């Protein structure tokens, strides 16, 4: 319990330093601070346990809103809907194989912490999304948990067209609940930055 407390204290100290713009003499050039809202459209593929019975990612639409502090720390919230894709397979019940056609969808909701590195006119954004993923689909077909934890590191490159942002990104999804699983997605990004 003390280790968790120390980790939270350390993270809180870093956030406080960013928010109050505490700098040191060797700090890099300040990054462009401000709020932004971006939408993304992409495609994701599940692997491991999820792709055998169902793939809850497929075509994906999402939105991400956040604030980048002076030194580059970015805090945000995001939502993504995965339309899933159909998976055909078989299921054995009492020694008899039956064809199975599944189609699961997903809704991902969470927060993100990241860092924006400005290489004018390109902004590189590394992020870590943490939240929940909700699976929707036929309960009797695949062994997907209804809700599970999500951990998704990502990387994006955004072209700054003041105030617009256009770019592309990739994310690696880790589903941390019962059954586990991984996924990978690529997306196109468009949005606006507010100062």
Calculate mean pLDDT across residues 99-104.
70
Both tokens of residue 83?
């339309």
Q: What is the per-residue pLDDT for 28?
A: 41
| pLDDT-based confidence at residue 189 (cuts at 50, 70, 90) | very high
Is this prediction's pTM over 0.75? no
Binned at pLDDT 50, 70 and 90, residue 54 comes out as low
What's the pLDDT score for residue 65? 97
Highest mean pLDDT range out of 25-29, 154-158, 181-185?
154-158
Burial class of residue 3 in the structure, from the number of CB atoms within 10 Å of its CB (0-12 exposed, 13-18 middle, 19+ buried): exposed
The span from the CA of 114 to the CA of 15, in Å, is 11
Q: Measured between alpha carbons, how far is 124 from 46 in angstroms, rounded to an integer?
A: 25
Pick from 53-67, 84-98, 133-147 the range whose average pLDDT is largest: 53-67
Read off the DSSP letter of residue 177. S
Average pLDDT along the chain: 79
Q: How far apart are the first and last CA of the chain?
A: 40
| pLDDT at site 102 | 66
What residue ranges define each of the domains in the chain, with the CATH number in brackets? 27-194 (2.40.160.20)
**What gap in Å lies between CA 190 and CA 79, rounded to an integer?**
15
pLDDT at position 8 over 50: no
Tell me which of 92-96, 104-108, 129-133 is least confident. 92-96
- Please report the pLDDT score of residue 52 as a whole number: 55
Q: In the predicted model, what is the mean pLDDT of residues 173-194?
A: 84
What is the predicted pLDDT for the residue at 27?
42
pLDDT digits (tens, 9 = 90+) for 140-173: 445 555 788 889 999 999 998 888 999 999 999 8
């Amino acid at each position: 319990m003390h280790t968790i407390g120390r980790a939270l204290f350390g993270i809180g100290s870093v956030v406080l330093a960013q928010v109050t713009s505490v700098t040191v003499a060797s700090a890099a050039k300040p990054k462009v601070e401000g709020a932004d809202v971006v939408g993304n459209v992409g495609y994701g593929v599940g692997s491991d346990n999820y792709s055998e019975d169902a793939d809850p990612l497929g075509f994906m639409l999402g939105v991400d809103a956040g604030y980048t502090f002076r030194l580059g720390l970015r805090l945000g919230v995001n939502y993504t809907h995965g339309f899933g894709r159909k998976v055909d397979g078989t299921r054995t019940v009492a020694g008899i194989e039956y064809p199975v056609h599944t189609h699961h969808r997903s809704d991902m909701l969470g927060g993100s912490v990241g860092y924006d590195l400005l290489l004018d006119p390109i902004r590189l954004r590394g992020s870590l999304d943490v939240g929940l993923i909700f699976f929707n689909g036929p309960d009797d077909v695949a062994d997907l948990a209804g809700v599970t934890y999500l951990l998704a590191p990502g990387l994006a490159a955004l072209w700054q067209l003041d105030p617009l942002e256009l770019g592309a990104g990739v994310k690696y999804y880790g589903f941390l609940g019962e059954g586990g699983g991984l996924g990978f997605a690529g997306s196109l990004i468009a949005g606006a930055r507010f100062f």
